[in-house]
Amino acid sequence: DVKVTQSSRYLVKRTGEKVFLECVQDMDHENMFWYRQDPGLGLRLIYFSYDVKMKEKGDIPEGYSVSREKKERFSLILESASTNQTSMYLCASRVPGALYNEQFFGPGTRLTVL
């Protein structure tokens, strides 16, 4: 079974803090993704990485950066957290050419920025 883990289930930070969200997958997947989920807006792609040290902006990259130094780990960084970044953050991974093209998701991190 594919396992995608995220470092925290719940996180509370203050405005202006630097925030690191970590994601680890154990299936040697090349592709990894960061989404945020907000009520009424669905899942929106922030950044993705198609391989180690490769990254590409998604639909809403402003205010975020990412790091992928090792294949199994993909980090999302909020350089200076703001209240509008309060959200559920979801990490996913995928192997290119998979039978169903599916992405496997972690449990999510509920981030609150005060």
Partner 1 sequence: DQQVKQNSPSLSVQEGRISILNCDYTNSMFDYFLWYKKYPAEGPTFLISISSIKDKNEDGRFTVFLNKSAKHLSLHIVPSQPGDSAVYFCAAMGGGSNYKLTFGKGTLLTVNP
Taking the complex as a whole, the smallest distance from the CB of residue 17 to partner 1 amounts, in Å, to 23
| 85 vs 103 by CB, closer to partner 1 | 103
Taking the complex as a whole, the smallest distance from the CB of residue 99 to partner 1 amounts, in Å, to 9
Taking the complex as a whole, the smallest distance from the CB of residue 16 to partner 1 amounts, in Å, to 27
CA distances from 16 to 7, 51, 55 (A): 21, 30, 24
Q: Using CB under 8 A as the criterion, which residues of the chain lie in contact with partner 1 when the complex forms?
A: 4, 9, 31, 35, 40-45, 48, 50, 56, 58, 90, 92, 94, 96, 100-108, 110
